[in-house]
Structure 1
């Protein structure tokens, strides 16, 4: 199977407004092709010795693997969290039309 070269990048934001701002900036810079914002995510995690529970907006972005380091830097610059979640997953299979659109949408 040929690798698509596409990735999905996840980050969780404290507000929908912040998620939209980050997505907008990354699209403007042609680092990502698109983003999905999912409100109402609930997170539980350990932070500085305490168990934290919070509501967040999950941001799922699609791009090409070659852009990950620039996306990582941009999210760190734009995100309000001290240590934002920035993870990517390879997309093994993708429709040819969607792959073409992603490649045309990013640089």
Structure 2
């Protein structure tokens, strides 16, 4: 997909040009040690209107470096939709509630979305 950006002569280059991208909205990815922890974090973020919705995916097998060793764990992946301006408060809240010393908190830009969905999303955020 990103190879399309390099070719300015394609019809895709206009769609993916910097001028057309709107990074006001983000998808935040967090992994948790359990579904219970995921639900607890999501509930708090919803209550504080820091996210409009979240999807909690089933158990995934994660492999990662920790203390100079490769470790593995079963985790839950949480996908949350919010605005970029709420990321810092969201991140602080997740860190305060999370059981990990270094929780995964990653934000990706939502490049495009339907107007109706984005309006709905915005209506439930601070």
Q: Which residue of 2 aligns with 1:13?
A: 32
Q: Which residue of 1 aligns with 2:86?
A: 67
Q: 2:111 & 2:63 partners in 1: Cα distance?
A: 29
Q: Which has the higher strand share?
A: 1
Q: Does the 8 Å CA contact 2:29/2:104 hold for their aligned counterparts?
A: yes
Q: Does the 8 Å CA contact 1:12/1:84 hold for their aligned counterparts?
A: yes
Q: Which residue of 1 aligns with 2:17?
A: none
The TM-score, its normalising length taken from structure 1, stands at 0.97
Q: 1:21 & 1:28 partners in 2: Cα distance?
A: 11
Pick aligned residue for 1:94 from 113, 120, 126: 113
Query: Equivalences for 1:12-91 in 2 at 5 Å?
Result: 12-91=31-110
Q: Does the 8 Å CA contact 1:7/1:62 hold for their aligned counterparts?
A: yes
Aligned residues: 107
* CA RMSD after TM alignment: 0.9
Larger RCO (CA within 8 A; separation ≥ 6):
1
Q: 2:59 & 2:95 partners in 1: Cα distance?
A: 22
Q: 1:2 & 1:79 partners in 2: Cα distance?
A: 32
Structure 1: tracts of 5 or more residues without a match:
none
| Structure whose CA Rg is larger | 2
The TM-score, its normalising length taken from structure 2, stands at 0.83
